[in-house]
Chain A
Amino acid sequence: MKVVVDLSTCDLHGLCVEAAPEVFEIGDDGALRVLIDTPPEGLRAKVDKAVRECPTGAISIEE
């Protein structure tokens, strides 16, 4: 799976960081960073949760 974040719609709610801290981080510059573009399958449930809970729908998974 490949994680794609649309930074133009990201609103920094940080729910993805809570759902999948291995994959998402808000950096020192205050912008969201994807730490692993292609996370292992073991993280799918966490990434799914991040996608579902993002209030702006900024995260998507490309298979």
Chain B
Amino acid sequence: MLRRIVVVGASLAGLRAAETLRDRGFDGELTLIGEEPHRPYDRPPLSKQVLQGTWEPDQTFFRRKHGYDALALDMRLGVRATSVDFRARRVTLAGGTFADYDRLIIATGARVRTLPGIAPRAGLFVLRGLDDAIALRRELMHSTRVAIVGAGFIGLEVAASCRARGLHVTVIEALPVPLSPVLGPTLCEMIASMHRDHGVDLRTGVAVTDVVGESRVAGIVLSDGSRISADVVVVGIGVTPNTEWLEGSGLTLDNGIVCNGSGEAAPHVYAAGDVARVANRWHGDAPRIEHWTNAVEQAVHAAENALAGPAAGTSFSSVPYFWSDQFDRKIQFIGRARPHDEMVIVDGSLADRRLTALYRRGDRVVACLTVNQPRALIKYRKLLAGGAAWEAAISGTAVS
């Protein structure tokens, strides 16, 4: 009998798991543990609305309308889970308290990487949490020059937000073309040109070797010997899954918690979101995916399977989806493209920066990218989920 469920991690995946458990009728003790002192909040607006100053930080909180009473949670915030004992079914928390469970859902997410060998100092920022966003925004109010390390989606969104604030922005990227392993070189060149047209000094194929300034940052040094002065440096070079607390627990940890298609990492233990590698039928393997919708889908799936038990478990199948807002463009991507997949623009153009592109591997369409064409994405999302043949996808564009 299920009396106690513990969810570790109080961000999107943890919250959606807790909500789903209650939606599906679980009326036992439900504990939600979060390391941050904040109630669950939404991360995508941090690099955009919050940084630009169009939203106050509290607008990012979930359940602002409904509150938490109906969920009847034992919400323990500002406390980190430090270990788990699967035999005793007990999670130990910092400070020595614990939470016992019949089912455990792990959604501890990921944390940002920092530049190796570079000590923290004033003016040096990462952007992952609400506190990061608040501190960075405050700093940007009296800054003029920002250097951003890493031209991934976070780096580029921060760049666009800083330009919107009228700041001088330099972005440093080690790859020759930013994002190209994900989107392919042609579309990444388009995104790079867009940033340059908006006044971003985007430097690619060059690494950061040092951050200068002792008590606070004064600039960065690049591998080509050049030096860029900056009041603020923002590092956005990817994330690492938060699994250290599980080392030695017996779970399979390999760039995340390895789970079967039910989201199960061990008997009675499930994982979801950025920390998890759930076997995904559509994807063909067990990828670690850092996208918003993935966190929701895996959380719902894990919660449902935690209630149903292993015998009734359903296998996870989902087409990855993410989006990014930069300047006046919404980039949406669904599926999975690899560097050598063929890319064809089926509507719009690079020149307009408004387009729909399909990615082909063999005779299948494997991914779709749109720029400011949200309707097209809906059509191709359906085709991709059904494993559409390339010819069908292409002819589909002809008739619509």
A residues neighboring B (CB under 8 Å): 11-15, 17-18, 26, 30, 48, 52-53, 55, 57, 60
Contact = CB atoms under 8 A, between A and B. Distances in A.
A12 B374 contact: yes
Nearest to A53: B296
Interface stretch (B171-179, B207-215, B262-270, B377-385): B377-385
Contact of A52 (B42, B296, B375, B378): B296
A30 to B, nearest CB: 7
A61 B107 CA distance: 27
Contact of B374 (A18, A26, A52, A60): A26
B375 A55 contact: no
The 6 closest A-B pairs by CB, nearest first: A12-B374, A14-B378, A26-B375, A17-B378, A53-B296, A55-B292
B382 A13 contact: no
B293 interface: yes
Contacts of A17: 378
B145 interface: no
Interface of B: 16, 19-20, 23, 42, 44, 62, 65, 292-293, 296-297, 300, 321, 323, 330, 332, 374-375, 377-378, 381-382, 385
B213 to A, nearest CB: 38
Contacts of A60: 65
Nearest to B382: A18
B381 A30 contact: no
Given A18-B381, A18-B382, A55 B293 contact: yes
Contacts of B300: 52
A14 B297 CA distance: 15
A15 B322 CA distance: 11
A11 B323 CA distance: 11
B384 to A, nearest CB: 11
Contact of A14 (B42, B44, B381): B381
B349 to A, nearest CB: 18
Nearest to B65: A60
B65 A14 contact: no
Given A13-B332, A55-B44, A60-B65, A26 B292 contact: no
B290 to A, nearest CB: 14
Contacts of A53: 293, 296-297
A13 B323 CA distance: 8
A18 B19 contact: no
Contacts of A55: 44, 292-293, 323
A56 B332 CA distance: 15
Contact of B19 (A11, A13, A14, A52): A52
A29 B382 CA distance: 21
A30 B292 contact: no
A14 B374 contact: yes
14 contacts: A11-B330, A13-B323, A14-B375, A18-B378, A26-B378, A30-B374, A30-B375, A52-B16, A52-B19, A52-B20, A52-B300, A55-B323, A57-B42, A60-B65
Nearest to A48: B23
